[in-house]
Chains A and B, each alone.
Chain A
Amino acid sequence: MIQAIAFYLFAAVVILSGAMTISSRNPVHSVMWLILAFFNAAGLMVLVGAEFIAMLLVIVYVGAVAVLFLFVVMMLDIDFAELRAGVMRYAGIGLAVAVALAAEVIIAVGAWSAGTLDLTRRVAPIDPVVPNIQAIGNLLYSRYVFIFEAAGFVLLVAMIGAIVLTHRERSGVRGQNIARQVNRRPQDSTRNMQPPVGQGVSL
Chain B
Amino acid sequence: MTGFFNTTVGMSYEWSWFLATIIGILVIALPLMLAVAMIIYADRKIWAAMALRRGPNVVGPFGLLQSFADGLKVFLQETIVPAAANRGLFLLAPIITFTVALIVWAVVPFQAGVVLADINVGLLYVLAASSLGVYGIILSGWASNSKYPFYSALRAAAQMVSYEVAIGFVLISVVLWAGSFNLSTIVLAQRAVWPIIPVNGFAFNPLLFPMAVVFLISALAETQRAPFDLTEAESELVAGYQTEYSSMSFALFWLGEYANVLLMCALNATLFWGGWLPPIDWAPLYVVPGIIWLFAKILFFFFVFSWIKATVPRYRYDQLMRLGWKIFLPLSLFWVFLVSGVLMFMRVGI
Contact = CB atoms under 8 A, between A and B. Distances in A.
Interface of A: 1-3, 26, 28-29, 32, 35, 51-52, 55-56, 58-59, 62-64, 67, 70-71, 74, 131-133, 176, 178
B125 interface: yes
A59 B124 contact: yes
Contact of A131 (B120, B128, B132, B138): B120
B94 to A, nearest CB: 15
Residue picked from A51, A52, A71, A178, most chain B C-beta under 10 Å: A71
A2 B157 contact: no
Contacts of A71: 138, 154, 157
24 contacts: A1-B14, A1-B15, A28-B89, A29-B89, A35-B135, A51-B120, A55-B124, A58-B128, A62-B132, A63-B128, A63-B131, A64-B131, A64-B161, A67-B134, A67-B135, A67-B138, A70-B135, A74-B138, A74-B153, A132-B120, A132-B121, A133-B121, A176-B319, A178-B322
Interface size class of B (residues with CB under 8 A): 20 to 34
B105 interface: no
Contacts of B319: 176, 178
Contacts of B14: 1-3
Contacts of B153: 74
Nearest to B127: A59
B122 to A, nearest CB: 10
Contact of B318 (A2, A3, A74, A176): A176
Interface string B10-41: 00101101100000000000000000000000
B119 interface: yes
Contacts of A62: 128, 131-132
Contact of B124 (A2, A56, A64): A56
Interchain residue pairs A-B with the least CB separation, the first 7: A63-B131, A55-B124, A58-B128, A59-B128, A2-B14, A131-B120, A74-B142
B224 to A, nearest CB: 16
Interface string B101-128: 0000000000000000001110011011
B164 interface: yes
B131 A58 contact: yes
B276 interface: no
Interface string B261-278: 000000000000000000
Contacts of A132: 120-121
B142 A28 contact: yes
A66 B14 CA distance: 35
Interface string B128-162: 11011011001100100000000001100100010
A67 B121 contact: no
Nearest to A71: B157
A155 to B, nearest CB: 15
A133 B125 CA distance: 13
A9 to B, nearest CB: 14
B181 interface: yes
Interface of B: 12, 14-15, 17-18, 86, 89, 119-121, 124-125, 127-129, 131-132, 134-135, 138-139, 142, 153-154, 157, 161, 164, 181, 318-319, 322
A176 to B, nearest CB: 5
Contacts of A1: 12, 14-15
A56 B181 CA distance: 13
Contacts of B154: 71
Contacts of A35: 135
Nearest to B120: A131
A8 to B, nearest CB: 15
Nearest to B12: A1
Contacts of A52: 121, 124
A133 B181 contact: yes
A117 to B, nearest CB: 26
B119 A51 contact: yes
Contacts of B89: 28-29, 32
A55 B121 contact: yes
A144 B215 CA distance: 33
Nearest to A63: B131
B206 to A, nearest CB: 27
A67 B181 contact: no
Nearest to B326: A178
B138 A55 contact: no
A74 B153 CA distance: 10
Contacts of B164: 63
A178 B17 CA distance: 57
Given A28-B89, A51-B121, 17 more contacts: A28-B86, A28-B142, A35-B135, A51-B119, A52-B121, A55-B124, A56-B124, A58-B131, A59-B128, A62-B128, A63-B164, A67-B135, A67-B161, A70-B157, A131-B120, A132-B120, A176-B319
